[in-house]
Amino acid sequence: MSTFTPYTYFQCPCTDSSPPVRNIGSDSPTSIHSSSSEDEKAFDPRAPRANYSLYPLEHLLYCEDCHQIRCPRCVLDEIVTYYCPNCLFEVPSSTVKSEGTRCTRSCFQCPICIAPLSVSSLEAPPEGLGAEHASQGGPYVLNCPHCSWSSKEIGIQFDKPNGIFTQLSKIKNGGDPVITARERRKDREERSRDSAPGPVTDEDGVQDETVVKLDPNEVLDAESQFSNLKAFYQAQLAEASPANALGFSGGDYGYGSPGALSRIMGLYTGGTYADKKSKAKKGTMREAQNAFEGLKIVAPNSEDALIAKLQNEGWDATSSSLQRDEQSTHTPFISDLRPIAYLLRTKRSKRCKTCRHILSKPEAKIQTTRFRIRLVALNYIPSISIKPLQPLLSTQLQAPLVPMKPTQFLLTFKNPLFESVKVNIATPAQTPGRFASKITILCPQFEVGANTDAWEEALRDGSKGVEREKRRTKAEASEGQLQAEAGKVWERGRNWVSVVVEVIPASLKPSPDFLKTEAQRKLAEEGGEDDRVREDEDVVEIPVFVRVEWEADTGGEDGGLGKEKEGREKRELAYWCVLGVGRIG
Amino acid sequence: MSSKRASTAPAAPKPPTSLSPTLTIAEHASLVGSYLITLGANTVVHPRAKLNSTYGPITVGSNCIISERSMIGLQGRGADGEGVVIEDGVIVEVGATVESKVIGEGCVIEVNAKVGRGSLLGTHCKIGPLCEVAEDEVLPDYTVLFANGMRRIDNSGVEDLKLKMVARQIDVLRRLIPSNLTKFQ
């Protein structure tokens, strides 16, 4: 059995509109006391929806204006900056929009092992007097210090040691220059000028005669094919519907235009005229006819070279699926791989969805990891930690819970606030689910002291330790062997309180037939009530409803608004938690 | 420091050595065993490097760097006449264990890597950090072991450049590490 660490998850109240609720009495087959009406609204940590609302306390934020817990689902993210994780340069969002979400400087990852690549010269470093000041000459390569891959292996070398991204975008694997989209456009314009503005459908013969620098049968790579096709169809659309009154460029292709949107809206509202129009347009379109227009003819023997390469070089020459995932095009062989430009990262600020106040705002400077604003729930609501009451030996630490044997756990509530808080906790009598363990909280109501000054704590630390020791010995002496008393706090410190929870773990064996209720028996007969323990059903998860009450200053926090009602205000916060205490063995 | 150490434990018997006069060997390097240890010209042995010839001879070529806490030599009894040969221009990084039969020219054994007994490494191999070469394994020239036991053949063809860089590194180390050749002769 795998190890188990006790955990506490908090439910964010943002899901309260439709809380995952199960009526324990009627739904759980092992429950015998079906009339426990006070449990009917208990939170069910096993409900499929519960997964989306439970978070560890560290993941939660707290809105000071709504006085509510905020989870990642009820905050709005705003991007503060984009930056490259390798060179830590900020990338303006306009550049991100135009150039994409990759670093456009010289930051690359190895296509083989994703280690950061470094630029190095192929020349021997200069030696002799003043060697430190002499600059190294080219050519340069990208070089992986981890797996010693180098861009020389895919036939790529650079003239300059900086601006690798732009240099790389102009070179194909093997060293041939890439014909950029702009060059293609220029070429296209030249051709269309030469071939005269005749009707589009009969340019077959004309084009071959014009002076072109591009081969019409050239084998295009995916990117240039796309740009050619796009240009071709755009030209077609422009010719087919010159400046339509409605603004859409005709056919089915003007997806981005506002006209297209209104046409789609027209479809929904029942207008039929748009349909007719698009049908009428269809006749005027033609397909791409050569490589300039993005036509790629798949020859029957086009894959022979690939197969031959596979036969010659074998498995080792092929790229792994992980390596292919990082590439933008299909790269069956290692020799097709290209250096991966670093993906940019973001710093985000978070706002409350209801009141739009900022909950978390990182410093805009990339080199600093500090936050300007960070309202984490950890500073506002008491944390809960779980510990078995019986001191266990280190070997026993992972010991599973014994079915039907009462086990006691210590819940420690630690108060982060500067005011003392009143805590009420409540649980259903049994855990929800098929295997209902019985739960008893021995002390459901208590007060946790204020989180006073840290200095004060430090100064009192010596005496406090003694005090706590005393309390424990007293408890032990009066109660005998570690016996918890109902209605009393187990242990208390400056800003923390421990209370005892008793759990009687359920037996994982199915209940005998005669104990089952009529409904359960029926359910079992009807179809496949599986008696086996499903995944993680042996974990005892206790839903706990926590209500925290405290008095807070109103004046200071609200600033100008709350000036006149200076004084103390009663605050209340209530939420569900789930305590995972252990596995039933 | 050294006098203290000497007083607590009796000095181990010095192994027979054949050291090149241009060798740089730190005083705190440890050479133990009974078989011959040969260290070539311009090689650098860092302090706390352990060369153990108890179970077989050790031969290190010229222009090598043996880093601290690395262990060279067989760590247990082997076949008769079995030893460890490290050819020219090899870098053994910090904490690496080398028991292989032959390590080819220009190899790099990275931090905490292990090269098992009886293995044969070709020239210009690179054993990545924490990677292991199994016993009696034969690696062809230019093999690179990296990550989680992944391997590839390095075709970059910059070996000469790398050997030059090793030579430069040795130049720097020589100025940094005070050599005490006489202690081991």
Q: Show the domains of chain A with their CATH numbers.
A: 7-19+378-583 (2.60.40.10), 181-297 (no CATH)
pLDDT band at A29 (very low <50, low <70, confident <90, very high): very low
Distance, C-alpha A295 to centroid of its chain: 40
**B185 in any annotated domain:** no
B158 interaction partners in chain A (CB closer than 8 Å): 122, 143, 150, 152
Residue in B126, B155, B164 nearest the CB of A124: B164
Q: Please say if the pLDDT value at position A563 is more than 50.
A: no
Cis peptide before A139 (omega within 30 of 0): yes
pLDDT at site A26:
42
Higher pLDDT, A25 or A298: A298
Q: Please say if the pLDDT value at position A242 is more than 80.
A: no
**B157 in any annotated domain:** yes
Provide the token pair at B59.
């031969």
Chunked into runs of 10 residues, chain B (185 residues) has average pLDDT values of: 52 84 93 92 94 92 94 84 91 94 94 93 93 92 89 82 90 93 87
Q: Provide mean pLDDT across the span A278-297.
A: 68
B106 touches chain A (CB under 8 A): no
Interface test with B, best of A113, A147, A151, A154 (most B CBs within 10 A): A147
pLDDT at site B73:
92
From CA A184, how far away is CA A186, in angstroms rounded? 5
pLDDT band at A527 (very low <50, low <70, confident <90, very high): low
* Most confident among A233-237, A469-473, A494-498, B3-7 (mean pLDDT): A494-498
Averaged pLDDT of chain A: 76
Residue in A113, A122, A334 nearest the CB of B146: A113
**A94-100: long-range pairs with CB below 8 Å, 24+:** A96/A344
* ipTM > 0.90 for the complex: no
Is the separation of the CB atoms in B37 and B65 below 8 Å?
A: no
Please report, for the domain that includes residue B165, its CATH number: 2.160.10.10
**B88 in any annotated domain:** yes
B144 interaction partners in chain A (CB closer than 8 Å): 147-148
Q: Helix and strand tally (H, E) in chain A? A: 13, 22
Residue A469: what are its φ and ψ, rounded to 5°? -55, -45
- In chain B, the N- to C-terminal Cα span, in Å, equals 21
pLDDT at site B90:
95
Q: Please say if the pLDDT value at position A562 is more than 50.
A: no
From CA B30, how far away is CA B52, in angstroms rounded? 8
Q: Provide mean pLDDT across the span A121-127.
A: 73
What's the DSSP call for residue A206? H
**B173 in any annotated domain:** yes
A141 interaction partners in chain B (CB closer than 8 Å): 156
B158–A122 C-beta distance less than 8 A: yes
Q: Please say if the pLDDT value at position A38 is more than 50.
A: no
Q: Please say if the pLDDT value at position A283 is more than 60.
A: no
Beta carbons within 10 angstroms of residue A133's beta carbon: 7
Domain count across chain B: 1
pLDDT band at A218 (very low <50, low <70, confident <90, very high): low
B163 interaction partners in chain A (CB closer than 8 Å): none
What's the DSSP call for residue A171? B
Q: Please say if the pLDDT value at position A30 is more than 80.
A: no
**B184 in any annotated domain:** no
Provide the token pair at A437.
């363990």
**B183 in any annotated domain:** no
Weakest mean pLDDT among A372-386, A556-570, B13-27, B48-62: A556-570
pLDDT at site A206:
41
B150–A147 C-beta distance less than 8 A: yes
Please report, for residues A11, A189, A213, A225, the alpha-carbon distance to residue A292 in angstroms, rounded to integers and kept in the order given. 59, 11, 11, 8
A153–B161 C-beta distance less than 8 A: no
pLDDT band at A250 (very low <50, low <70, confident <90, very high): very low
Provide the token pair at A486.
């109902």
Contacts of residue B176, Cβ cutoff 8 Å, sequence gap at least 6: none
Distance from CA of A124 to the nearest CA of B (A): 6
Q: Provide mean pLDDT across the span A521-528.
A: 58
pLDDT at site A430:
86
Interface of B with A in 141-160 (CB under 8 A): 144, 146-147, 150, 152-158, 160
pLDDT band at A92 (very low <50, low <70, confident <90, very high): very high
Distance from CA of A146 to the nearest CA of B (A): 7
Range of the domain at B78: 2-178
